[in-house]
Structure 1
C-alpha cells in the first residue's frame, strides 16, 4: 500500500485503528506512570529517599528506552501488530507481578523488565500508523494516538493514588494493572491487520546499523529527537516531585488531594489532537514552538505559593507538553524515508524515554539539594534549549505536515 492509498477519516478501518491505538496508549502509559502518584508512600514504606523512590518510574522508562530499537527490529521482521501484541501482553503480566515484591531491588527489577515489554507500543505504533493512514492525515491521527497516552497516564495516576490512600500503594498498582489488562483486550480485538507493511526478512539486523546511521545523519531528525529528550525529561521531573513539593508548607496537601492535580492530564488529552490538526493547516514548527512556550508559562506559575495558580500552571504546562510531543512524535517517522520509519520512531522514543529516565531521577537531587526554585529554573532551561534547537534546525522543514 502506498502513502496515497491509506485509511482515511470516516472509514471503518480508520476508526478501528485509532480506537485500538487509543486503548494501547492506555494500557501502556497507565502502567508506566502508576507509581508516580504514590511515590511519597513508596518512599515512606520502603524507607528510601525521593530520588530512589522515583526509580519506580525511571527504571521502567529506562527499560522502555533500551527496548525501542530491538522492538523496531522485531516489528520489521515479523510485523507491527504481532510485535505490539507480544509487548502489551508481557507488560500486563509483569504489571500484575511487580507489587508482589517486598524488596525494593526486586520491585525495581520487575519494573525495568516491564518497561522493556512496554517499549513495543511507542516504538511501533507511529510507524504502523504512518504506513496505514493516508499521508494527508498522519499528523491528526498521531494526535489522536497521543490523546490515548494522556488518558493512560492520567488513569494510572488517578486510580493508583486514591486506592493507595484507602488501602496501600501495592493495591493501587494492582488496580491499574487490571485496568491495563482490560485495555489490552480492547486493543487486540480492534486493531486492524497491517496492509502497508512489507516484512524485512532477509537479515534485517545486517542493515539496521545502516538505517540507524541514515536517521542519525539527518540534522532534522536529531533536532526532533532533542525535543523528546529535553521536553519529556522536564515533564516527568515535574510530576515525579510535585507530590513531595505539595506535601510541604505552605501547601501541606494530603496525598489524595495532591493526586487530583493529575487531572491536569486532561489538558493534554485536548491539546494533542488539536495540535495535530493545527499542524496539518499551519505546519509543524509553529505548533511545536507554541507548545514549548506554553510549557515555560506553566513552569513560571509553579513557582507561586498558591494551590489554585499551581493547578492553572500545571494545566498550561501539560497542554503545552502534549501539543509539542504530538507534533514531534509524528514528525519523526513522517520525515524519514519509507525504509527507516520504524528506526526514526524508535530513536525518537529512545531519546524521549532516555530523557525521562535521566532527568526524572537526577533532577531529584536538584530539588532535594537546592529547592523548588532551582528545580524549576533547570526545567525552564531545558525547555528553552529545545526551542532553540527546533527554531535553528527545523525551520525549513516546518512548512508542511510531511
Structure 2
C-alpha cells in the first residue's frame, strides 16, 4: 500500500487545493438562500416559517445523505463520490434559478441536499487516508476554512446581487460557480492511493449506530449538536426579516453583510479548542453557550449597533460551542469513529431544519421576541446537557466490537 503524502509534496498541495474548492463550494451552495428568504416569501406569498423550508429541506436531506455517504463511498470510491457531490450541487443550484413555483424550488433544494451530503461524509476519511499525520492539520484546516469562507461569501454575494438584480440571477451565478468548482476539484484532487473498497453492510452500520447511541455521553453530544445548530441557523434565518423592517429598514445588501461576522466564529472555534485543551471541555462548553445566550438577549435591543454586537457575540459562542462539542465526539467515540461523526452531523443538520421551522412559527406569532424566546429555551436545554456532561465518567477500556477494529478509548 502506498504511503500517505509527506508535507510540502506536490501531492499535498494538489489535495489542499482541491479541498479548498470542495469546502468552499459545498457550503456556499447550501447556505446561499438564507438571506434570500424574505424575497422568496414576498414573491411566492409565504409566511416566514414556510419560506424557511428553502434551507431546511436541504439540510434535512443532507442529514440523511451524509449518514449513507460513507457506506456509498466504500463502493464507488472517495474522489468519485465527492466529485459527483459537487457537480450535482452546482447543477441543482443552476436549476433552482428557473423554478416556476415554490414547490419546484423545494424539490430542487431537497435534491441539492442529497447531492451535497457526499462531500462532508467522506472528506475527512479521504484526508486521513491520503495525508501524513504531520501535515494533516493543515489539510483539514484548508477544508474547514474553505467551508466557512464559502458559507460567508455566498450569503453576502447573493444579497448584493439580489439587491441590484434578482435572487434568480444570484442562484444562476452560484450554480455556474459551483460547476466550475467541481471541475477544479476533479482536476486538482489526486485519486486515492490508500483507499480499499469495503463492504460493511447494513448490519454493521446498525450495530455501530446502536453502540454509539448506548454510550453514556455521545447521545447527549448529538442532542447538543441538534440544539446548537438549530439556534444558530434560526438566528440568521430571521434576523433579516427584522432588519429589513422598521425601525431599522436596512437594504438586502446591508443585511447580507452580517455574514461577515462569521470571521468572528472562525477565530472562536480555534480559540475555544485551545482553551478546552487547558481548562477541559467540561468547563469551557457551558461558558461558550452562556456567551451565545447573552448575544441572543442583546439582539432584542432597538439600537442597531447593539443588535450587531449581539449577533457577533452569539456567533462567537456558537462556533466555540460547536468546536468543543464536535471534538468531544471525536475523542470519546470508539470504532467506528466515522459513524459517530456522521451521527453528530445528522442531528446537527436535523436541528437546523426542525428548530429553524419552529422559530419561523414564533416569528409569525410574536415577531423577534418570539424567535429569541424559542432560541433561549433551546439553549437552556443545551445548558442542562452541558451540566449533565460535566458529570460524565471517563470511558473505560473499549469493548470488542464485532467485525470492526478495536481502539483504545479516550
SS at match of 1:100: coil
| Pair 1:148-2:142 in alignment | no
1:92/1:235 CA distance change after superposition, 3 Å: same
SS at match of 2:198: coil
SS at match of 2:217: helix
Q: Is the 8 A contact 2:73 2:81 kept in 1?
A: yes
Aligned counterpart, 2:370: 374
| Pair 1:39-2:37 in alignment | yes
SS at match of 1:163: helix
Aligned counterpart, 2:338: 342
Aligned counterpart, 1:74: 72
5+ long unaligned stretches in structure 2: 396-408
TM-score, with structure 2 as normaliser: 0.86
CA distance, structure 1, for counterparts of residue 295 and residue 253 of structure 2 = 23
User: CA shift at 1:374, angstroms?
Assistant: 2.7
Aligned counterpart, 1:243: 240
Q: Is the 8 A contact 2:53 2:357 kept in 1?
A: yes
Aligned pairs for 1:1-400 within 5 A:
16-131=14-129, 145-194=143-192, 197-201=195-199, 204-280=201-277, 282-338=279-335, 340-393=336-389, 395-396=392-393
> Can you list the C-alpha shifts for 1:216-250, whole angstroms capped at 9, x where unaligned?
12232212212210000001111111111112222
Aligned counterpart, 2:406: none
Point out the structure with the larger helix share: 1
Q: CA RMSD, aligned part only?
A: 2.9
Bigger shift: residues 163-172 or 137-146: 137-146
CA distance, structure 2, for counterparts of residue 137 and residue 74 of structure 1 = 27
User: CA shift at 1:182, angstroms?
Assistant: 3.3
SS at match of 1:219: coil
Q: What is the total number of aligned residue pairs between the two structures? A: 396
Q: Is the 8 A contact 1:81 1:193 kept in 2?
A: yes
1:272/1:179 CA distance change after superposition, 3 Å: farther
User: CA shift at 1:19, angstroms?
Assistant: 4.6
CA distance, structure 1, for counterparts of residue 5 and residue 393 of structure 2 = 28
CA distance, structure 1, for counterparts of residue 333 and residue 127 of structure 2 = 14
CA distance, structure 1, for counterparts of residue 159 and residue 373 of structure 2 = 28
Bigger shift: residues 86-95 or 234-243: 86-95
User: CA shift at 1:137, angstroms?
Assistant: 8.4
Aligned counterpart, 2:399: none
1:272/1:147 CA distance change after superposition, 3 Å: farther
5+ long unaligned stretches in structure 1: none
Q: Is the 8 A contact 1:76 1:204 kept in 2?
A: no
Bigger shift: residues 381-390 or 30-39: 381-390
User: CA shift at 1:163, angstroms?
Assistant: 0.6
1:7/1:208 CA distance change after superposition, 3 Å: same
Q: Is the 8 A contact 1:6 1:132 kept in 2?
A: yes
CA distance, structure 2, for counterparts of residue 159 and residue 126 of structure 1 = 28
Aligned counterpart, 2:405: none
CA distance, structure 1, for counterparts of residue 327 and residue 194 of structure 2 = 17
Q: Is the 8 A contact 1:61 1:354 kept in 2?
A: yes
1:150/1:89 CA distance change after superposition, 3 Å: same
CA distance, structure 2, for counterparts of residue 105 and residue 376 of structure 1 = 29
Structure label with greater radius of gyration:
2
SS at match of 2:57: helix
Q: Is the 8 A contact 2:56 2:354 kept in 1?
A: yes
CA distance, structure 2, for counterparts of residue 11 and residue 391 of structure 1 = 45
Bigger shift: residues 223-232 or 124-133: 124-133
1:285/1:186 CA distance change after superposition, 3 Å: farther
Q: Is the 8 A contact 1:147 1:270 kept in 2?
A: no
User: CA shift at 1:159, angstroms?
Assistant: 1.1
1:23/1:317 CA distance change after superposition, 3 Å: farther
User: CA shift at 1:32, angstroms?
Assistant: 0.8
User: CA shift at 1:195, angstroms?
Assistant: 5.4
Q: Is the 8 A contact 2:162 2:252 kept in 1?
A: no
